[in-house]
């Protein structure tokens, strides 16, 4: 798959999120577990929501998985307020199975090498609306650019 890499200036996305430290083997299952903590809180409170977002906090597997929110919500013991970074980012869009997103990250790495730029933590993924057709699944990958 070919990836179109872009530099954008973004505002922060407000999130309701839960956090954990995970492993590559458990990443998918842990993301689902965290989202299963967040969604009931937002539904119960009637919060207007957007897409699911996973933030990789420090370049390792300390993550926050949550939902974009458009309005206030009351945090709980498990669900807190969070946000994606604002500022200059490198981004690309991945279409297909989420497990195949490695090509998107490789495209971002190539762009950095070719353009003499570096990324900084955190990075994040914004998941489009679910589709039973894997080819119709969208994930936007963002990496903050170092100054």
- CA 38/CA 134 separation, integer angstroms: 24
State pLDDT tens for residues 16-41: 999 999 998 999 999 999 999 999 99
User: For a pLDDT cut of 70, what percent of the chain falls above it?
Assistant: 99
Domain count, the chain: 1
Is the residue at 99 inside a domain? yes
- Is 81 domain-assigned? yes
The dihedrals phi and psi of 131, each to the nearest 5 degrees, come to: -140, 140
At 66 the pLDDT is 98
Please report the pLDDT score of residue 25 as a whole number: 92
Average pLDDT, the chain: 95
| Local confidence band at 60 (pLDDT 50, 70, 90 cut-offs) | confident
Which CATH number covers residue 37? 3.20.80.10
Is residue 13 domain-resident? yes
- pLDDT score at 59: 65
Least confident of 28-42, 49-63, 82-96: 49-63
CA 39 to CA 44: how far, in whole Å? 9
Degrees (nearest 5) of the Cα angle 145, 68, 57?
Answer: 40
* Contact (CB, 8 A) for 82 and 131: no
Distance set, CA 138 to CA 4, 112, 113, 121 (Å):
14, 23, 25, 22
Inside any domain, residue 1: no
| Position 48 in a domain | yes
Q: Which two tokens stand for residue 91?
A: 């981004």
Among the residues of the chain, which ranges form H helices? 27-45, 102-115
- Domain span including residue 62: 6-145
DSSP 44-70: HHT--EEEEEEEETTSSSEEEEEEEES
What average pLDDT does range 83-112 have in this prediction? 96
**Ramachandran area for residue 77 (φ above 0: left; ψ -120 to 50: alpha; else beta):** alpha
């Amino acid at each position: 798959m070919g990836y179109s890499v872009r530099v954008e200036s973004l505002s922060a996305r407000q999130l309701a999120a839960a956090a954990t430290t995970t492993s590559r083997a458990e990443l998918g299952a842990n993301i689902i577990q965290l989202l299963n903590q967040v969604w009931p809180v937002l539904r119960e409170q009637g919060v207007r929501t957007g897409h699911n977002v996973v933030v990789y906090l420090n370049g390792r597997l300390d993550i926050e998985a949550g939902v974009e929110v458009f309005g206030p919500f009351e945090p709980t013991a498990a669900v807190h307020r969070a946000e994606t970074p604002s500022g200059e980012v490198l981004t690309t869009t991945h279409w297909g199975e989420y497990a195949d997103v490695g090509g998107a990250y490789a495209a971002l790495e190539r762009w950095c090498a070719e353009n003499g730029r570096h990324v900084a933590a955190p990075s994040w993924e914004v998941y489009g609306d679910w589709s039973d057709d894997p080819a119709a699944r969208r994930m936007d990958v963002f990496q903050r650019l170092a100054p």
